Amino acid sequence: MSATHTFSNLIPDAILDAVESTGLWSDSRIYPLNSYENRVYQVGIEESSPVIAKFYRPGRWSEAQIREEHETLLTLQEQGTPVVAPLAFEGKTLFLHNGIYFALSPKLTGQHPEADNLDQLYQLGELIGQLHQAMSTPFTHRVSVSPLLQIEQAAASILNAEYLPQRLKPDYQKQIARLHEMCVAQLHNYWPTQLRPVHGDSHRSNLMLHNDQFHLLDFDDCQNGVAVQDLWLHLTQTENPRQQLSEIIEGYESYLPFDIRELGLIDVFKSARIVNYAAWLQQRWHDPAFVKAFPWFASEEYWINHLNELKSCEREWGNMSR
């Protein structure tokens, strides 16, 4: 059964049956939340607060990888790190219903960080420093980051499919080759001998200001990586990116020293993220939710803009590490 077909079976009754299989009693109110890789719903509970039900995309992570994510979150929660951990029922946090793994977590309300708020950037740096200090032991089952391999595989996938317009392919191949060469050189200059556990996707939408404290959400992409992976996503295209970076690092170093050599990896991770995003949309294009949410993906304009993004990576290379 394909992932798309499996998700298509997540009708309201199936969602309620899954939630109630844990022993909770739903009030039948279901609200889909903004998630495409997995399926996430807010589900009302009788005489209690709503819960968040997350249904994992089949075939993406193994049971061992999901359990390691949950164990990490429970440990972080016990240590006082502000994260949202899964709810346990009779000692279990991961459940299987109709062939789909799912988990429940408490609903957290609040606001996402402001992109250019320097005080908040300092607080985010503190939070990520606290997280990295608490996650000191590398993952056993989760993936380890390999940005060069990611670029190679994503670009090959794009070039071998029919979505990238034929007339753009020669220019795309040249641009990917150029960025690949620059990434190889940068990784030769510095790549840590030991990777460390990181959140892996700590963009603003995965952070929530709740009761005057930032919380990290959605550890779906937690992995072995490098510290800067969890920091650079908070740098925005403003007039003072260096000041933003300074605030983040200063907050981070309230908990851990930051190896300044990692700044040279920002361009590598940025390039990989841009190529991977296009390849991800292409890979999931059979999923009706993607066609509805990203209708512009199949247009020539999208691919022109994507190519221009890659060219911008080359033009701006090294700005953050100088």
Classified as helix, coil or strand, 198 is: strand
Q: What is the pLDDT of residue 321?
A: 65
Highest mean pLDDT among 139-153, 280-294, 305-319 belongs to: 139-153
For CA atoms 98, 104, 110, 112, the dihedral sign is: negative
218 is in an annotated binding site: yes
Place of tokens 């988990």: 103
220 is in an annotated binding site: no
Q: What is the pLDDT of residue 192?
A: 94
- Residues in a beta bridge with 26: 45
Tens of pLDDT along 33-43? 988 899 999 99
Q: Which of 27, 218, 220, 230 is catalytic?
A: 218
Q: Which of 17, 116, 201, 287 is catalytic?
A: 201
Tens of pLDDT along 75-132? 999 999 999 999 999 999 999 999 999 999 999 999 999 988 999 999 999 999 999 9
User: Which tokens is 77 given?
Assistant: 């929660």
User: Which tokens is 230 given?
Assistant: 């969890």
Query: How confident is the model over 204-212, as a mean pLDDT?
Result: 92
Query: How confident is the model over 54-83, as a mean pLDDT?
Result: 97
Q: Which residues are CB-contacts of 282 (< 8 A; sequence separation ≥ 6)?
A: 157, 158, 161, 163, 297
CA distances from 322 to 24, 142, 242, 263, 318 (A): 54, 33, 10, 9, 6
Query: How confident is the model over 131-141, as a mean pLDDT?
Result: 96
13 is catalytic: no
- DSSP string across 117-178: -HHHHHHHHHHHHHHHHH--SPPSSS-B--HHHHHHHHHHHHHTSSSS-GGGHHHHHHHHHH
> pLDDT band for position 294 (50/70/90)?
very high
Cα angle value 206/209/211 (rounded, 5°): 140
3, pLDDT greater than 80 = no
Q: Which residues are CB-contacts of 129 (< 8 A; sequence separation ≥ 6)?
A: 251, 252, 253, 254, 255, 256
Which domains are present in the chain? 3-106 (3.30.200.70), 118-315 (3.90.1200.10)
Tens of pLDDT along 146-191? 999 999 999 999 999 999 999 999 999 999 999 999 999 999 999 9
27 is catalytic: no
272, pLDDT greater than 80 = yes
Least confident of 207-216, 223-232, 233-242, 295-304: 233-242
> pLDDT band for position 1 (50/70/90)?
very low
